[in-house]
Amino acid sequence: MRHIKYLFFIFLLTLFTACDDNTGSEKVDFDREAFLVNMADNVIKPSILNFASEVEGISVASSSFATNPSLESLNELRSEFKEAWLAYQHLAFVHVGPVSSVNLRDRVNIFPTNTELIEQNINNQDYIIGSASNVAAKGFPAIDYLLFGTGASQEEVLSYFGDPDLGESRLKYLSDVIADIQTASNIVSEGWDPYRETFISNIGTDVGSGTSLLVNEYNFQFDIRLKNAKIGFPSGGNPRTGGIVSPQSVEAYFSGWSGDLAKESVKSSIEVFKGQAFNSTTDGLGMDDYLDALNAIDRNENPLSTSIINESQAALDLMESINAPYSELAANEGSNLVEVYNQLQIVIPLIKVDMTSALSVSITFQDNDGD
């Protein structure tokens, strides 16, 4: 009976809010082109440029470290590395156009990284860093291992790279991984302006439209890469784990930055949802405004946009109360991470069912959670 009531609710929601897929905002007072222009110019492009700038920072610091390996150059490289990884968290929520074409998520942030494959590549020196077989041996997680997981102290990490037999090969591998990220970043940066017109001119909500791409990628990043990969799988909170914890599966396992990256991800999700200008408090046209124009409500008859923001913020508040690296928390069954996972799960039906129904957007990716 509960499912019947819910399906009836979705039917009514869809019936009263459906829009014309081809002509834009004929049935609701909302300018979808202006929405896409704001997302393109004030959210996506600045995020792309910021990521490119931070990646350039890693490249410069890496060259300095290779020329003069020292505690100072190592710390500078680590600092630049963290800034770039944080910058990626925002860009991952607008995975459209050239960002999607280079498959940035899989190219730079597959975790846990395969440390055995990394060492094998270094020893054999016959790798092609861009090959599919190395997807788990490159990107930010690989750098995380190389800069933090190869020694218990900074001195030991320096010794790893200073090894008389393998030191040069290890520095080369680090350089190749960073160069691969920079290549992807350059493609994205150079590809956005030519793609922009395609993005803002497709104002429908059918598959491939700007709105559909944004909503789908937003859902994918929130559900699959944030809720599940960062929190649910390591903590055992995701039902598919059977409650089995895997602390080594957290993002940034070696540096212990898992919490910082996850919080940045949730923070970014709220900013993108609101159409907030990148690195600014200026609130432009976003998905929240679109839902408000449609008078979309949740199952408790509250404004849907408010519920999405409030429930996401509640997850962020829970995460703010956690200080320990997620790998330490995940080692304990029923940890605070499970509580975070459950709070993130509350957001899923709001964005994946209620929002998509209100916007007449179809989810085009599949997962096995049954959300």
Task: List pLDDT tens digits, range 246-272.
Answer: 999 999 999 999 999 999 999 999 999
What is the tens place of the pLDDT at every residue in 56-65? 999 999 999 9
Helical (H) or strand (E) element with 10: helix 2-17
- The answer to whether 234 touches 246, Cβ cutoff 8 Å, is yes
10 Å CB burial of residue 229 (0-12, 13-18, 19+) is buried
What's the burial of 49, exposed, middle or buried (CB within 10 Å: 0-12/13-18/19+)? middle
What pTM, to 2 d.p., does this model score?
A: 0.91
pLDDT above 80 for 14: no
CB 74 within 8 A of CB 147: yes
Kindly report which listed range (165-179, 202-216, 320-334) carries the lowest average pLDDT score: 320-334
pLDDT at 197 over 60: yes
Quote the strand ranges of the chain, DSSP E.
none
pLDDT recorded at residue 269: 98
Tokens of 147: 């800069």
